[in-house]
Structure 1
Amino acid sequence: MSASAGMFSQSFFHGTKADLKPGDLIVAGYQSNFTDAKPLSWVYFTATLDAAIWGAELAAGPRPERIYVVEPTGPIMDDPNLTDKKFPGNPTLSYRSRDPLRILAEVTRWQGHSPDRLQQMKDGLARLSAEDARIID
C-alpha cells in the first residue's frame, strides 16, 4: 500500500556511513549497505531508531556510522524485504520510496548493539550471501 509522506506525523530515520548535512537528499541509484547487488532503485528508511542503528552498523566502508532524521519527498510503501518475508504487518516500521529522502538532522547520541549481537547479524548476512539469497528486492 502506498501513502503520501505528508500523512505521517512521526519521525523517520536512515542509517548509513555517508557524511551528509541537513537539506541534502538521499537518492536511489546507490549500492545497498548489505549486498554487492546492482544499485538500488529504492531508498530505504524506518520509523524506529533501532532499525536505523542496524543500517548504520551494517553499512559498508570505513567512514563513521551515522543516523539521520529524514523526510520522504514522495510516496512511500512498506519495505517488502522485511514486511513480507520476515515480519508480517511491518512491526519494524520499515519503508521504501523511489523519491529522495531529505535530511532534516543527524542523530548524534545513540547506543549501538553489542559487539556479539553485531557479529551475529553480520554472520547471518554472510550466510545469506553464501547461499546466494536475494536479501533486497
Structure 2
Amino acid sequence: MAAEDETGPFFHGTRAALRPGDLLVAGRPSNYRPEVVMNHVYFTALRDGGGLAAELAVLLAGAGEPHVYEVEPTGPFEDDPNVTDKKFPGNPTRSYRTSAPLRIVREVDDWTRLTPEAVTLWRERLTTMRDGRAEIIN
C-alpha cells in the first residue's frame, strides 16, 4: 500500500504528555537522540508500533511515561524511507513521515505493552547500540 492510499487511523508514540488539538511539528529534538533535530514527524498506522516507539522513547530517556496518541496528518506524507525498502521490502510496518504537523486526536491506551523480559532485552540492545554509536533511528 502506498502512502497516498493509507487512510489510518494513525498513531505516534512518545514520552511527551500531550492534549487533543496539540500539534507535533518537525524541527524538534528526536525522541531517540535528543541531539538530532528532526526534519520530519514520524507516525504509523499500527497502534502497537506507536506503543513500541513510546516505550523506546522512555527507555532511551531513562525517565517518563510512554504515551500513544491517535494523530491526524495536516499535510502530505510519505512512506518512512528509514524502514521502507531499506530494512523491509514494501512498508509492512506501515510507517510514515511528514514535514507538516500532526494533530493530536486523542490518547489511546489499548496498545500492547512490552513484557518485562522484552524491556530488559530492548534496554540491552539500546545500550549496545548507543555505546557503539550505531544509528538507533534517523
TM over 0.5: yes
Say how many residue pairs are matched. Answer: 134
Aligned residue among 17, 20, 33 for 1:19: 17
- Whole-angstrom CA distance in 1 between matches of 2:31 and 2:77: 20
| TM-score, scaled to structure 1 | 0.85
Q: Are 1:35 and 1:129, in contact at CA under 8 Å, matched by a contact in 2?
A: no
Q: Report the Cα offset of residue 78 of structure 1.
A: 1.2
- The answer to whether residue 99 in structure 2 is matched with residue 98 in structure 1 is yes
SS in 2 for 1:83: coil
Change (3 A) 1:84 1:36: farther
Alignment correspondent of 2:111: 110
Alignment correspondent of 1:85: 86
| TM-score, scaled to structure 2 | 0.85
Change (3 A) 1:29 1:98: same
Alignment correspondent of 2:69: 68
- Whole-angstrom CA distance in 1 between matches of 2:34 and 2:124: 16
RMSD of equivalent CA atoms? 1.9
State percent identity of aligned pairs.
Answer: 49
Structure 1: 5+ residue stretches without partners? none
Q: Report the Cα offset of residue 61 of structure 1.
A: 5.4
Q: Report the Cα offset of residue 133 of structure 1.
A: 2.2
